[in-house]
Structure 1
């Protein structure tokens, strides 16, 4: 008898019906380039009706349906993601514990079953533990590592416990806080190492302990790493609660704030330590950087306190935050899960579970011989980059810098027009850093341009992104050498009243909003409504025009992964598969 399929739930996702639901699901799946696994399930009827598993190729340019299962004409009452999908950079794999063979929509037979090695020493899962998650409270206690990943985790634990057996009071199969500090060295800040240790020793596999253990056992370590790297919002939030409070009970909002600042600072710290900043800088000292506090405050602004209140001001710092509040926060703010994954991956460096950083930290590209200190640091780039379209997150190319190219509006126009999507930002004389994203190439003309993918943003003193309001289409404006209409660069609002304006008299600008910009709902971005600035930068994001032209000769199935996926899901073969080499997007 086959064990049941691991139950996953996500009430926030819409119900889907087949076959149109299947088609829409494939479209939604392939819109996101990280490897993922989903299943279509009808829990009321027991076994799954439809099962879809897939993986995506490099750069998100290719998609492949691995299998479909379900009776002809079957429907799906719920879309349930594998929990690791919540981490935006997680290396997820769909691993069902077993599925009886059933007829697929194309008439084939498919069977999926994990090997017995999926339950490993120190982390065996019972049939009851693999049942529906609604049958008991709290996070599931079944680690989700594949055999290769489990072997790497075992090696990490063996390294942590090396030399521990001879110490009084410390079991041979457990490690202490000092052992964890010695192993990680300077890779992570000491306060984050202590938080990770508290979270690990607070894991209770038997669900009987009233207080955390004195050291971390193998089973605790495996489960903690599973929850951190492959857990759902319930599991991650439970571990976060233990990382904040040793008792694991409700905590105050100011304690969550300190944890969030520690988490954000640790990301910048570990990327700098591992030399993976990809050309960007980390403000030093990292933990005291205003950018750390700004990004942490932005993440906390998404938290919903009991009663639906929003974390808005210091008056909320004494409010209680229980597990439900943290779970809701983790599920709605993907940066939390992503940052936890970065801290663990780059702290412990497990080789069998790579964590690609290309879409988290874009590569900084500059012409040879150019070097300057950008007003952006790595945390600012991570935040802005996360709001860009996925295909434009891999690299940023410098087009203009007032420090390199001079204080010239003519130079600005000459270097930024017809160069594709751009991020423009500046720092006023009061230290405010802000800018906007232009979703298409800038053109010098007297009309507004752009589309609703454009947005304005603030970096300092606070981080925020302001998207289109739908009120008007005044997204972008660039004009030069005209007599009767304004000459300059603008985003949002209207003539003489822009959300962001850089005057043709370079060094002057304004940000007018009473109370907000009509196009983007943004407040005043600068310290003063009429401001002056010395530093301005323009970065082209995504593939260059030359690279796009070089890859334009791809097959339609290479360009459109949805078309490829739907072809395969219908059971039709790709006769050119294996006969030609698909162009590499990175070349």
Structure 2
């Protein structure tokens, strides 16, 4: 940095590594090349809104480009802002330093400027929600334009526009408003500290939109990878905003997600659902009931058919519509997950949380029926009633494998112990033993 740069800028630039500084210092000139870069009546080079719009076109939606420009203009690096309403080089450098390496205290004024649009001292919860809607939309467009969808097909998934609004509502619901139901800089600082996704999204949109690719910061995978899926036949209950929401909640992020079961492809068969879930590693269950409510649960362990509860405290329930929320372990009991089939003494079905007859989420073995009974909350997860009706009619269900299957499952594939040992099968037949597992077998193509 030259001596002409203000002390504020020099202090901010120290945060970047030596190999990053040339990248950051070139951003201003790169953006100026998209337009004239001169404010009317000024001989000083400044970044105009039109130049910024042209530079980020196709990567960042225009509403978010305007918000970024407002944040840059709000920066006061120690000198006066350039005349004509543009953004100076110093303002841009401070903005970039605060976006990539700033604290919640330093990022809060930027968010205030992006949410208010007028430089006010407070914003409303609705203004913050609208800002987050634009930010999430920009994240999705950025990931799409940069080919970073990780194998997902938005055209074969649920409504992403509705998902943007749901995710924005969820994120902005974390605001702790003042007594006057307003949000000042302190409120935003607290919000940014607790809701880390805002800073991550802003960093992605700024970096990709403005061409700031720092060598020391490889792109963060905001979406899980999707394994092979029959997208020609499948229309998933998932959408990209839901993936952005659920992915950080999971305990592991390495294995590609793989479709295991869908009523659209496998039909309404509980035995088929069981065969597709058992011994497949961690899974994500998604449902839609006849009232249009969408909800589900994460199972941290492989499902196993037995009349006891299983799983651990990493399991959780979640709602997707009409609100997007996650409900985690309360510590009250250990009724994480339950799967039973073809038993006469215990309930047959799939459940998560609560207790028998009062599950937070229950699918009956008589396919198509279920319940979500929480009065007032599920004891295991603290979730409210997730379905439209307490006893609901199931419309659609799908299951995704979201972790590596157990090693023995990978090694042995889908073979029964009887397949692995034909002599054992022959001995059992000769002694008159009934091979119960034969009647429960499904076709070989168990995965989608």
1:243 aligns with 2:114: yes
Contact 1:436 1:457 in 2 (8 A): yes
Runs of 4+ in 1 over 4 A off after TM superposition: 119-124, 281-288, 367-371, 546-550
Q: Which position in structure 1 is the counterpart of 2:415?
A: none
1:357 aligns with 2:229: no
Q: Which position in structure 2 is the counterpart of 1:268?
A: 140
Deviation at residue 212 of structure 1 after TM alignment: 9.0
Q: Which position in structure 2 is the counterpart of 1:257?
A: 129
Query: Deviations for 1:142-164, whole angstroms, at most 9, x for unmatched residues?
Result: 56222332222233211211252
Whole-Å separation in 2 of the counterparts to 1:406 and 1:288: 25
Structure 2 stretches lacking a partner, 5+ long: 412-448
Aligned pair partner of 2:298 in 409, 412, 437: 437
Whole-Å separation in 2 of the counterparts to 1:171 and 1:337: 35
Whole-Å separation in 1 of the counterparts to 2:156 and 2:54: 24
**Structure 2-normalised TM-score?**
0.84
1:541 aligns with 2:402: yes
Q: Which position in structure 2 is the counterpart of 1:305?
A: 177
Q: Which position in structure 2 is the counterpart of 1:493?
A: 354
Query: Deviations for 1:498-526, whole angstroms, at most 9, x for unmatched residues?
Result: 11011111121111111111111110001
Q: Which position in structure 2 is the counterpart of 1:64?
A: none
Deviation at residue 325 of structure 1 after TM alignment: 0.7
From the superposition, tell whether residues 143 and 300 of structure 1 become closer, same or farther in structure 2 (CA, over 3 Å).
Answer: farther
Query: Deviations for 1:53-80, whole angstroms, at most 9, x for unmatched residues?
Result: xxxxxxxxxxxxxxxxxxxxxxxxxxxx
From the superposition, tell whether residues 451 and 284 of structure 1 become closer, same or farther in structure 2 (CA, over 3 Å).
Answer: closer
Deviation at residue 280 of structure 1 after TM alignment: 2.5
Note the 1:224-235 alignment, pairs <5 A.
Answer: 224-235=95-106
Q: Which position in structure 2 is the counterpart of 1:201?
A: 73
Of residues 214-223 and 156-165 in structure 1, the stretch that sits farther from structure 2 once superposed is 156-165
Q: Which structure's residues are more often helix, by fraction?
A: 2
Note the 1:188-587 alignment, pairs <5 A.
Answer: 188-206=60-78, 214-245=85-116, 246-282=118-154, 289-307=161-179, 319-353=181-215, 354-358=217-221, 360-367=222-229, 371-389=233-251, 391-392=252-253, 394-546=255-407
Structure 1 stretches lacking a partner, 5+ long: 1-118, 131-140, 308-317, 551-587
Deviation at residue 165 of structure 1 after TM alignment: 5.5
User: SS of 1:502's equivalent?
Assistant: strand
Query: Deviations for 1:299-330, whole angstroms, at most 9, x for unmatched residues?
Result: 122111225xxxxxxxxxx8321111111110
User: SS of 1:191's equivalent?
Assistant: helix
Q: Which structure's residues are more often strand, by fraction?
A: 1
Whole-Å separation in 1 of the counterparts to 2:158 and 2:91: 30
Q: Which position in structure 2 is the counterpart of 1:160?
A: 31
Whole-Å separation in 2 of the counterparts to 1:369 and 1:142: 46
**Structure 1-normalised TM-score?**
0.65
User: SS of 1:458's equivalent?
Assistant: strand
Of residues 367-376 and 282-291 in structure 1, the stretch that sits farther from structure 2 once superposed is 282-291
From the superposition, tell whether residues 397 and 195 of structure 1 become closer, same or farther in structure 2 (CA, over 3 Å).
Answer: same
Query: Deviations for 1:528-553, whole angstroms, at most 9, x for unmatched residues?
Result: 11112232111111334359989xxx
From the superposition, tell whether residues 489 and 178 of structure 1 become closer, same or farther in structure 2 (CA, over 3 Å).
Answer: same
Aligned pair partner of 1:173 in 45, 63, 72: 45
User: SS of 2:400's equivalent?
Assistant: strand
Contact 1:427 1:534 in 2 (8 A): yes
> What CA RMSD, in Å, does the superposition of the two structures yield over aligned residues?
2.8
Whole-Å separation in 2 of the counterparts to 1:441 and 1:249: 51
Deviation at residue 281 of structure 1 after TM alignment: 4.2
